[in-house]
Chains A and B, each alone.
Chain A
Amino acid sequence: MIELGILGVSAFLLLIITVWKRRSPSVVRELPALVRLYRAIGLSVEDGTRLHISLGHGGLLNARGGSALAGLAALRLISERTSVSDQPPVASAGDPTLGLLTQDTLQAGYQAAGVEELYVPTSGRVTGFGPFGFAAGAMPITSNENISANILLGHFGAEVGLLTEASERENVTVIGASDDLAGQSILFASSQDSLIGEELFASGAYIGAGPSHMASLTVQDVLRWVIVLVLFAGAFLKFAGMI
């Protein structure tokens, strides 16, 4: 019942705060990696280069689905903003179901921009199966397709080091976030600005996905403070010998 309570409270807060954010939009603190992402989107249209958005190899039927869905939300906006470019974006995934959704999301972005006829189905790709197969398939995209920025949002493990190394060789900007601790530490070491922990889920809010994404950030902050208070209360009660 605790789980149902958390879900209910989160849903209620999300709906209420979304309505509130629609009326009074708020400002978010600056995250260098997401500022760089915002700039990379604009630059790719201006200088005729391509963006590579990779959503990792997390499936949708397990705990990694959340990061994949966050990546898809960002992909939807990026494809809408860059679809009219001479070099439209290319997206890759290492899971077949995620690959299908990647193609569908890219197409939705083109539709929203009013240029559905420009959509090429092979711009959404399944580059391989399994962590290393996926990375090995995604590495040549950086060197062969006039990429200006690699945007890695999803589930990446240690193999993300191969992608960042390929980007470094081609002097391509890397903006990366993963829900996996090994992936996060490697992205921290090998990218210009890295996103840590839940910052992966903030990408939508920073590139203008709307009030619901802003509301999500506020609800996450509220829930985080509740967890902090519960942890302190638990520690105090244990210290006092009451539990």
Chain B
Amino acid sequence: MRVLTAIIAIAVGVLVLLGYFFPALPYVQDIQALLLNWAMLMIAAAAIVGVLNLVFVHADKIRRREKGNLYSAILIIFLFGTFLLGLILPPGHEIMRLILNGVIFPVEAALMGILTITLLYAAVRLLRRRADFTTIVFLVTAALVLFGSATLPFGENIPVFSGLATWIREVLAAGGARGILIGVSLGTLLTGLRVLFGIDRPYGGN
């Protein structure tokens, strides 16, 4: 079974790659489109499995009376409530929009607000945890960019910091970011090749 799954995975990977590199070959693009459509269908099916997994995990927490099980109960009640409303009401109905605009967006905005304070606190703690040259450069750069981006009460940026922040963003940060992204791309390429060769099998094989 493990060999069969590996053969299927490698064959599908090779066929999709052929579609990208040799689109002129007969049938190759049709096969690629078919396989990608199947992948889309599987992702939709996986979303249902994912929701079921979420329900099972939280139902288990309620059954075992684990810490925080009240939140699990609230999650399950609202999940099924929203699901039922989604089935009964037409798309774009006012109640569905209210759930989205009145609950989901504000909660995400609140989490973003908490994150801002969390990051500020993390920056303060960073010097205590790891007081080395890299940390100092990191914090000084962050402070310079913040001062450069902040506006004065009468509506203008701080003159010197503004130009410095732009230079840091467009020269130093952009260069560094490209370097990091090249490294990430190379890592992604090699990881993909290991999966394509069946060396790594994230689909369950040993």
Say whether B111 contacts A159, CB under 8 Å: yes
Annotate A105-117 by CB proximity to B: 1 below 8 A, 0 otherwise.
1011001100000
- The yes or no answer to B182 lying at the interface (CB within 8 A) is yes
Q: Which of A10, A130, A181 contacts B189 (CB 8 A)?
A: A10
Stretch from B86-94, B116-124, B157-165 contacting the other chain: B116-124
Main secondary structure of the interface of A (DSSP, over half): helix
Given contacts A158-B115, A165-B122, contact A15 B197 (CB under 8 A): yes
Say whether B46 contacts A96, CB under 8 Å: yes
Say whether A161 contacts B186, CB under 8 Å: no
Q: Which of A59, A143, A165, A189 contacts B138 (CB 8 A)?
A: A189
- The yes or no answer to A224 lying at the interface (CB within 8 A) is yes
Say whether A162 contacts B118, CB under 8 Å: yes
Q: What is the minimal beta-carbon distance from A9 to any residue of chain B, in angstroms?
A: 11
- The yes or no answer to A26 lying at the interface (CB within 8 A) is no
Per the bound structure, the CA–CA distance linking A103 and B17 in Å amounts to 27
Say whether B54 contacts A128, CB under 8 Å: yes
Q: What is the minimal beta-carbon distance from A165 to any residue of chain B, in angstroms?
A: 5
Closest chain B residue to A72, Cβ basis: B202
Say whether A189 contacts B122, CB under 8 Å: yes
Q: Which of B57, B186, B194, B197 contacts A224 (CB 8 A)?
A: B186
Say whether A201 contacts B190, CB under 8 Å: yes
Q: Which of A14, A129, A140, A197 contacts B197 (CB 8 A)?
A: A14
Per the bound structure, the CA–CA distance linking A148 and B18 in Å amounts to 45
- The yes or no answer to A198 lying at the interface (CB within 8 A) is yes
Say whether A165 contacts B184, CB under 8 Å: no
Per the bound structure, the CA–CA distance linking A156 and B118 in Å amounts to 16
Say whether A188 contacts B177, CB under 8 Å: no
Q: What is the minimal beta-carbon distance from A140 to any residue of chain B, in angstroms?
A: 5
- The yes or no answer to B80 lying at the interface (CB within 8 A) is no
- The yes or no answer to A212 lying at the interface (CB within 8 A) is yes
Q: Which of A129, A165, A223 contacts B50 (CB 8 A)?
A: A129
Besides the known contacts A61-B39, A65-B192, A165-B122, 20 further A-B residue pairs in the complex with CB atoms under 8 A apart:
A3-B21, A14-B190, A14-B194, A66-B187, A69-B195, A69-B200, A100-B49, A104-B203, A108-B201, A108-B206, A125-B54, A126-B51, A136-B111, A140-B71, A161-B115, A161-B118, A168-B125, A186-B119, A189-B122, A223-B186
11 sampled A-B residue pairs with Cβ under 8 A: A7-B193, A65-B188, A99-B50, A105-B202, A105-B204, A132-B112, A158-B115, A161-B119, A162-B115, A190-B125, A212-B200
